[in-house]
């Protein structure tokens, strides 16, 4: 199986280059140009591997669903997404539909990490079909495009087709952990609530005449953001840590208990400590570390012109990442109360709730989790560890709508971990991902 993957890597790379020719299907109507083409392309790839696949419409972006249940054993549902974000000018990613003519360069940069994870799984299924004649287990694949949208239609869609989609175990890819050289399996997924708010004033006079009288929305916002964390780095929102279970997500995993009590900032790094060990300690800290992240801050005159003519509204977007037993609704309300208490009566504030999801804890002692851990350890020659991951709308919907356990895996970059931040993938890393999925399928089929 592994020899087949290595021998046919060039053909797999050419299929990835074909995917690169699509235009972006990312956030915003201006970029949302070809989501149906993405879904159709993945449905075609699944049919070539032997799945019975079709594209289904739903509110939001269409999904591709494929089934191949001719094998015996516990059934598997793989959930991946075809989202391809716009390229960063600094990264050199191509998002205009043009790609190099070949993948001969072993350090060739190509498309978004999550798309390569999805296609790597399909390539692993292709290898299984070519070598063994069939998949190691009854298999279903769900390909969705909701990773960078509000994903409002995904849970209703999964509930509508629950009888068709539900399986004994779920599989899903996750983005590699930055600067982590070990493969990981998520024993817990962060919950989150993403909030936007705008602070403005009603004063209708030039700022020069209002100095010292009218409140400056940007100064109000700066004070609010400055109060979000105390001097030790803990989130200062009252009640933010209420109800947290300090026990790790993987009770029997010896690596999960080294991060201290719930709510503590990550441990300080010893400069004399080996780099690899510091990376593992970073992974260990994640399962019990809820955070409040400032995503975006801006201030702009609402009608253009010179900004100093009037105090412009101030805007901020924050994401609060939550751990097991934190309630997104309660945390969101506490956050809004925290902000309102710091806005003077002369100012006006408006909130928008962008998205939210409850934290998820998997049964990491499940035999399928241990089999996947052993498979990844063999492939990467480093022990795969359990950690806490961000998940995605598809994974959270899978858990909420179908009530399934899901093995959410993250593979390290083969050489250059900084590519994770640039959303690029090396051919060598793509090869290891295909091999990793092939080994996981083999382990689950035993």
CATH assignment at residue 213: 3.30.70.360
Instruction: Classify the C-alpha dihedral 87-352-331-150 as positive or negative.
Output: negative
Domain C-terminal end among 341, 357, 373: 357
Residue numbers in the chain where pLDDT is lower than 50: 24-33, 84-111, 248-287, 416-423
Residue 58 lies in a domain: yes
Residue 270 lies in a domain: no
* Same structural domain, 298 and 161: no
d(CA 322, CA 314): 26
* Same structural domain, 13 and 137: yes
Contacts of 278 (CB under 8 A, 6+ apart): 269, 270
Q: Under a CB-based contact definition with an 8 Å cutoff, are residues 183 and 384 in contact?
A: yes
Domain C-terminal end among 324, 357, 390: 357
Domain C-terminal end among 357, 374, 406: 357
> Could you tell me the strand order of the sheet in which 314-322 lies?
291-299, 314-322, 191-201, 347-357
- Structural domain including 320 reads 191-244+290-357
How open is the CA angle 148-429-81, to the nearest 5 degrees?
25
Output the pLDDT for position 430.
Answer: 84
Q: How many CB atoms lie within 10 A of CB 156?
A: 13
pLDDT in tens, 307-363: 555 678 899 999 999 888 888 999 999 999 999 999 998 889 999 988 888 888 888
Residue 254 lies in a domain: no
What is the SS3 assignment for 407?
Answer: strand
DSSP 267-310: PPPPTTS-HHHHHHHHHHHGGG--EEEEEEEEE--TT-S-GGGS
Residue 262 lies in a domain: no
Output the pLDDT for position 49.
Answer: 92
Residue 24 lies in a domain: yes
Strand pairing of 52-56 and 63-68?
antiparallel
Q: Give the pair of three-digit tokens for residue 207.
A: 């700022």
**CA-to-CA dists, residue 332 to 195, 240, 249, 301, angstroms:** 8, 9, 23, 28
| Closest C-alpha among 288, 286, 284, 283 to residue 244 | 288
* Same structural domain, 29 and 152: yes
* Same structural domain, 106 and 145: yes
* Same structural domain, 168 and 299: no
Residue 256 lies in a domain: no
Output the pLDDT for position 36.
Answer: 78
Output the pLDDT for position 269.
Answer: 43
* Same structural domain, 183 and 239: no
Number of domains in the chain: 2
CATH code of residue 57: 3.40.630.10
* Same structural domain, 204 and 303: yes
Residue reference for tokens 């950690």: 387
Strand pairing of 291-299 and 184-189?
unpaired
* Same structural domain, 304 and 418: no
Q: Give the pair of three-digit tokens for residue 204.
A: 């209708």
Residue 268 lies in a domain: no
* Same structural domain, 140 and 150: yes
DSSP-derived letter for residue 98 is: -
Residue 271 lies in a domain: no
Q: What is the rounded end-to-end Cα distance, in angstroms, of the chain?
A: 15
* Same structural domain, 297 and 404: no
* Same structural domain, 184 and 199: no
Residue reference for tokens 């190509």: 110
Strand pairing of 291-299 and 314-322?
antiparallel
d(CA 24, CA 33): 7
* Same structural domain, 321 and 420: no
Output the pLDDT for position 374.
Answer: 93
């Amino acid at each position: 199986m592994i020899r087949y993957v290595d021998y046919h890597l060039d053909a797999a790379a050419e299929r990835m280059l074909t995917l690169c020719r699509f235009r972006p299907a990312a956030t915003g109507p201006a970029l949302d140009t070809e989501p149906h083409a993405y879904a159709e392309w993945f449905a075609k790839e699944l049919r070539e591997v032997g799945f019975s696949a079709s594209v289904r419409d739903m509110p939001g972006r269409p999904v591709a669903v494929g089934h191949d249940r001719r094998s015996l054993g516990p059934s598997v549902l793989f959930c991946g997404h075809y989202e391809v974000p716009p390229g960063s000018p600094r990264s050199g990613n191509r998002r205009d539909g043009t790609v190099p003519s070949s993948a001969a360069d072993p350090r060739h940069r190509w498309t978004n990490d999550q798309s390569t994870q999805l296609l790597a799984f399909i390539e692993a299924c292709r290898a299984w079909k070519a070598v063994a004649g069939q998949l190691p287990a009854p298999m279903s694949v769900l390909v969705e495009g909701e990773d960078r949208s509000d994903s409002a239609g995904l849970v209703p869609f999964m509930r509508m087709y629950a009888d068709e989609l539900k399986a004994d175990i779920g599989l899903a890819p996750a983005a590699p952990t930055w600067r982590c050289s070990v493969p990981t399996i998520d024993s817990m997924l962060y919950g989150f609530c993403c909030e936007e708010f705008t602070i403005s004033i009603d004063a209708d006079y030039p700022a020069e005449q209002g100095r010292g009288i009218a409140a400056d929305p940007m100064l109000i916002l700066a004070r609010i953001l400055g109060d979000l964390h105390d001097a030790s780095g803990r989130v200062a929102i009252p009640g933010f840590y209420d109800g947290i279970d300090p026990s790790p997500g993987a009770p029997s995993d010896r690596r999960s208990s080294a991060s201290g009590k719930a709510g503590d900032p990550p441990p300080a790094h010893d400069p004399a400590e080996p780099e690899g060990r510091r990376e593992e300690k970073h992974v260990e800290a994640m399962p019990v570390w809820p955070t409040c992240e400032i995503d975006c801050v801006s201030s702009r005159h609402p009608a253009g012109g010179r900004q100093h003519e009037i105090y412009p509204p101030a805007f901020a977007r924050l994401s609060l990442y939550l751990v097991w037993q934190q309630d997104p609704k309660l945390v969101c309300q506490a956050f809004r109360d925290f902000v309102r208490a710091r806005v003077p009566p002369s100012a006006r504030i408006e909130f928008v709730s962008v998205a939210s999801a409850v934290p998820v804890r998997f049964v990491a002692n499940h035999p399928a989790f241990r089999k996947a851990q052993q498979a990844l350890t063999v492939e990467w020659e480093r022990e795969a560890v359990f950690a806490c991951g961000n998940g995605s709308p598809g994974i959270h919907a899978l858990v909420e709508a179908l009530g399934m356990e899901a093995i959410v895996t993250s593979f390290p970059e083969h050489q250059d971990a900084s590519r994770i931040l640039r959303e690029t993938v090396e051919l060598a890393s793509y090869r290891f991902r295909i091999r990793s999925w092939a080994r996981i399928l083999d382990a689950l089929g035993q």
